Amino acid sequence: MATKDAVLELLKRNRGEYVSGAAAAETLAITRTAVWKAVKALQDEGYEISAATNKGYMLAPDSDVISPALIRELLDGVVRPEQIEVDRCVTSTLDIARKLAEQGAPEGTVIIASEQTAGRGRRGRSFYSPPGTGVYISVLLRPVLPAERAVLVTTATAVAACEAIESVTGETAGIKWVNDIFVRGRKVSGILTEASYSMESGSLDYAALGIGLNVYPPEGGFPPEIADTAGSILGNRQPDARSRIAAEFVKRFLEIYADLDRAGFVDEYRRRSIVLGKRISVISASGSRRAEALDIDGECRLIVRYENGETAALSSGEISIRL
């Protein structure tokens, strides 16, 4: 274990209490200078570590910085360490995933970030990705899947995200078709899958899925354009919550993905739907139509009945619902 990681683990074990430089040096069999350098490096990464004369160093009780070491530990045996990239700030995890895909990176490569400067949402929208409050994840996939079933990647992602949120935080999460995650009536996560198709076979060359999760509310609140709908999974900071949510999501998604073609997760997706039985608006380029959401079929298509009695199976698109 690197010196920095060893110092961090020591401070975590004594979270909220001061550990003297001398005690840390003795415990880890390193010099006090090495302890100081490690603490400085951790502070530069965003860890809230107090330093006080004659007391030593203390990690804040509610410190939650995305930890590469913890994520790799939690994913040990699920993803090879060299396939996990954890960054403090990126333009977009999807950009990195696509670049790695074109360079031949293997399926299951994971990119995790604490901030995005150019995060993307559906329909060309930006995805608000401020530092220190959320976690942004992409997974590179090379599915043997026809293009018309690509929606299964997105819907499997939604189920895995709900399960991860509930496992780590105890909060109840639901899905607004096709890919928005809601907690306490607010959108806390968005999912975007970008794919490269083979013109010859009509199948996917690779898919890069991206998911952003709002773990905490941003300081000053969400931007006005999303303030009425956006929310956070947690109200108060919890130690290592973002790292644990990220790792739990990756584990649960890869477990579902291993049997994606069978679509065994669809019952769980349907159970978590917050739109079935509700009046909705189906939004398209030509406008919107009022409808009732009847069911979700085995391919995760939304079955709707319009006001004129016509029924349709929607495989993509956007809907709105008043919660």
3-59 CATH choice from 1.10.10.10, 3.40.190.80, 3.20.10.10, 3.30.70.20: 1.10.10.10
* pLDDT surpassing 80 at residue 147: no
Check residue 73 and give its pLDDT: 92
| 322 vs 185, more confident | 185
The DSSP symbol for 268 reads H
Ramachandran category for residue 27: left, alpha or beta (phi over 0 → left; psi -120 to 50 → alpha): alpha
* pLDDT surpassing 90 at residue 177: yes
Asked if 42 contacts 4 with a C-beta cutoff of 8 angstroms, the reply is yes
Residue 207 CA to residue 230 CA, distance in Å, equals: 27
pLDDT tens digits for 227-284?
A: 999 999 999 999 999 999 999 999 999 999 999 888 789 999 999 999 999 999 999 8
What fold does the segment set 68-271 form as a domain?
Answer: BirA Bifunctional Protein; domain 2 (3.30.930)
Check residue 199 and give its pLDDT: 66
* Among 266, 94, 313, 284, CA closest to 192: 94
Check residue 315 and give its pLDDT: 86
Check residue 256 and give its pLDDT: 96
**DSSP per residue over 251-262, as a string?**
HHHHHHHTTGGG
pLDDT tens digits for 241-257?
A: 999 999 999 999 999 99
Confidence of residue 69 (pLDDT cuts 50, 70, 90): confident
Residue whose entry in the numeric block shows the structure tokens 């000053």:
220
Which of 2-11, 45-54, 119-128, 295-304 has the least mean pLDDT? 119-128
Q: Which residues of 190-201 are buried (b: 16+ CB within 10 A; e: fewer)?
A: bbbbbbeeeeee
| Length of the chain, in residues | 323
Taking the CA atoms of residue 164, residue 165, residue 168 and residue 171 in that order, the dihedral angle to the nearest 10 degrees is -140
Asked if 57 contacts 49 with a C-beta cutoff of 8 angstroms, the reply is yes
279-320 CATH choice from 1.10.1040.10, 3.40.50.150, 2.30.30.100, 3.55.40.20: 2.30.30.100
Check residue 323 and give its pLDDT: 61
